[in-house]
Structures are given as structure tokens and as C-alpha cells.
Structure 1
Amino acid sequence: MSLTTPTSGIPPITEDDIADYLANTPDFFVRHAQLLASVQLSSPHGHRAVSLQERQAEMLREKIKALEHRIMDMVRHGNDNVIIADRLHRWARNIMLVRSRHALPASIASELMTQFMVPQVGIKVWDVAPRFSDEPFATGVSDDAKSFASSLTQPYCGVNSGFEAVNWLDDTAMAMSVALLPLRDGALNNASKAFGMLVLASPDPQRFSAGMGTDFLERIAELASAALSRLRDE
């Protein structure tokens, strides 16, 4: 925006010129201190005019309020993470205490439901030792489902799009959102084939959403994989 009418050969002074001058002349308001008291600005909280000092104070209060909200969010998220970490600890401790390998998959599923309040959990494991091959948790999985599990390098979270794995649940109609966790040796994101998959489901369409963080789900998958690796030994 030009503040003067252009004259021949003299460029107009713009708002940017004034802003640059003030930014590069920090002692301007020292020499003209009376301007600080006389400059009037519009207040964002109504139509009244306020002094420059009052406007600066308002801006500072707004920044402080925004920082307070951010701190409260950080505290709330920190508390939430502590609660989830405690549940993860109890879940891991309880499945480590399971002595029967036959009971291990069902124990993992039931503990997930109890500790994390997940309405439904399904689990299947394949490539198990022959003594476990006829167990319900080791049967009824197609090659397509196995390939799909191997293709996942992180948990899938989102709506139920007709995944075969949802049929492992007791009530498929109530699986509106799901989390699918591949089970494999080592880190969840390595290139090895999956030897199983966990299905977590909820009637709440937003319980497992595409944009949710999956850090704790990844830890659940890796811990479950480590525990279930016992089913592959004779």
C-alpha cells in the first residue's frame, strides 16, 4: 500500500518501507517516546481504540493463554500415555505367566479385552508345530489372509472393509472399526513373513481410526509375537 502520491522520479513510501525502517532503527521510539502513548490501535475485543502498550499487553496475554493450553494438552497426553503404559505392563506380565502353550492365544486375546477394554479380539497363528495344528487358533485361515498379514509392516487401523480376519470374531456385525496387527519374528516392520494376526474390533467407528497413533499397538504386536513363537517349537 502506497502512503504518498507518486511524483516524477520519486518512488512512493510504502508500509513495508516504514516497517523495515522501524525494524532496523530500534532506538526510534527511544528518541520519540511520546509516540508510544499517543499511538492508538483497534482492539480485537470490541471496537474501542487502545494504546500501543495496551495492545502489546493483550497480545502477550493471548500468547500466555495459548502456551497454557499447550502445556495442559502435554500434561493430559502424558497422563494418558502413563495409563496405557501401565496397562501394557500388566498385559505383558499376565501373558508371561501363562504356562500352557495351548491356552496362550486365548489368554492374549482375553487379557487385551480386559486391560485395554477392547470389545472384541480375534487371533490366528499359522506355521505352528504339528501338535498345535488342529487347534482352533491355527485353523480356518486362507492363503490370501496370510499374504495380507505379511504385507502389513505396521498395524492397520480403520473401518471394517470386509476383511477375512473379521470373521475370526464372535460378532462381526459389531466390528465397525478394527485394528489388524501382524505377528512376525523380530520388529514389526521387518520383511519376514507373518505367522499370525491379531484383530481388535469395536462398535465405535472412531475407536480405531486411520489417523491414530500406533506406537502402543506395535508394541502389543511385537510382545504377542514373541510370546506366540513358543507355538512354533516342538
Structure 2
Amino acid sequence: MTSENMNPITEDDIANYLANTPDFFSRHAELLATVQLTSPHGNRAVSLQERQAEMLREKIKALEHRLMDMVRNGTENVIISDRLHRWARAIFAVQSGRALPATIAAELAAQFQVPQVAIKMWDVDARYGGDVFAEGVSDDAKTLAASLSQPYCGVNSGFEAAGWLENPSIAMSLALLPLREGAANNAGPAFGMLVLASPDPQRYQSGMGTDFLERIAELASAALLRLRPR
């Protein structure tokens, strides 16, 4: 067979041969000391053993970063869970129905460092019809609350609900949480809305996860049911 008919050996051929011949370096151990590779930390050449050690260190470092992320996330989850527990305990300890909406808002602001919180209800029992939390809600705001299948998070684009805040002019981002019966599965009509606001335009962003906010809405809704007509 002439050299013109022979196919040249490719890198894939070499790689396949080495992968399928595990005892190659056992029979040619001297090669391990002479093989030189380019280091990713510069243009210097390093031995195969040194390159393997570098790769192992990089893997260990990546695993350490992942472990630290897991520890940090676990710690943050514990902190959030503790705050949620304190908030729920505070609102379910309220004896006066009339004081409940204000307590829900104040404790949210305190426990979760929310700069501004407001709450409004409608279709309440006649005893509470003249209270501040049950006044000043338009049909448009009620329609918005009814249309939300999950909390709205995003910029304050002139929502009426922002006007319920103590200082609407500095509310750059909002979270709007509809309050309704059967909140866990979005069943039942909306009977109120909880507003969380921040001067930071990035605090409440479109596309952010809303699972935690949904739990807040569920607990607040359950606590406020006693203000509804029986």
C-alpha cells in the first residue's frame, strides 16, 4: 500500500486509542514526565501531572463555591422563615378586628424591612365600612385586584394603589398582592389588596419569583376573613 492511499492519523484517532488502551501509560510511564501542556494561568508549559493537579484544584474550588452558596441560601431561608413566623404570630394575636389591617401592614414593614406598606379592603362587614382601610377604593382598583392571579411586581406606573401609601412619590417599585378567599388556589373573589413599596426600582422586578409573596397574601387573607360579612 503506497503512502498516497494511507489516511493520516487524526487527533481523534489518538484520543480514541488512548481511551481504549488504558495500560498505554503503564507500559510507557516515562512519557508522563515528558508530556507538556499549556497552563490556563499563563503561557507556560506544565507537566501532565501538574495540569491534572490544577484541574483538580479548580474542581475543588468550584465545589467549595457551590457549598458556600448552599449554606448561604439555607441561612437566608431560615432567616425568612423566622421573620414569617414572627409576622404571623403578631397578626393572629390581634384581638381587635379593626386593628388587624394596620397591624398586618406595620408588622410586614418591620419584619421584612419594607419601606412602605398599605392595605385596603372592600365588601367588609358593615361594622368596618367607615374605617380608613375600607374607604377610597375605586372599581378600577377592585378590577385590577380581581385580575391578578399572582402578585404583581414591577415599576410604579401610576397605580391607584400607590396612592394608598403614606408617601407615594418615592415608591419606585411595587408589589401588589390580591387578598381573596381561597387564596391558596386563587379561588374566590378578591376582597382587598396589600401594597409593598420601595424607593429602590429594583426591589420588586417583573419576572421575580412570587412564591413567598403568595404565602404572605394567603396568610393575610386568612387573618382578614373575620372582617368579612358572615
Alignment partners' CA distance in 2, 1:55 and 1:29: 16
In structure 2, the residue corresponding to 1:195 is in which secondary structure? strand
1:82 partner amino acid: V
TM-score when normalising by structure 1: 0.90
Kindly tell me the number of residue pairs found equivalent between the two proteins.
Answer: 228
Corresponding position of 1:69: 65
Kept in 2: contact 1:154–1:189 (CA 8 A): no
TM-score when normalising by structure 2: 0.92
| Aligned with 2:114 (options 115, 118, 133) | 118
In structure 1, the residue corresponding to 2:190 is in which secondary structure? coil
Kept in 1: contact 2:181–2:187 (CA 8 A): no
Query: Deviation string for 1:41-65 (max 9, x for gaps)?
Result: 0111122110011001001101111
Note if 1:172 corresponds to 2:156: no
2:42 partner amino acid: G
Give the C-alpha shift of residue 9 in structure 1. Answer: 4.3
Query: Deviation string for 1:162-216 (max 9, x for gaps)?
Result: 2121111111111011111111122444243221111000111122223433232
- Unpaired runs of 5+ in structure 2? none
Q: Which is further off, 136-145 or 165-174?
A: 136-145
Kept in 2: contact 1:121–1:169 (CA 8 A): yes
Give the C-alpha shift of residue 150 in structure 1. Answer: 1.9
Corresponding position of 1:39: 35
Give the C-alpha shift of residue 111 in structure 1. Answer: 0.7
Alignment partners' CA distance in 1, 2:156 and 2:220: 22
2:81 partner amino acid: A
Note if 1:219 corresponds to 2:194: no
C-alpha RMSD of the superposition: 1.7
Q: Note the 1:136-151 alignment, pairs <5 A.
A: 136-151=132-147
Q: Which is further off, 10-19 or 192-201?
A: 10-19
- Unpaired runs of 5+ in structure 1? 1-6
Identity %: 74
Q: Note the 1:123-162 alignment, pairs <5 A.
A: 123-162=119-158
Alignment partners' CA distance in 2, 1:109 and 1:91: 10
2:125 partner amino acid: A
Q: Which is further off, 207-216 or 163-172?
A: 207-216
Which runs of 4 or more aligned residues in structure 1 lie more than 4 Å from their structure 2 counterparts after TM superposition?
none
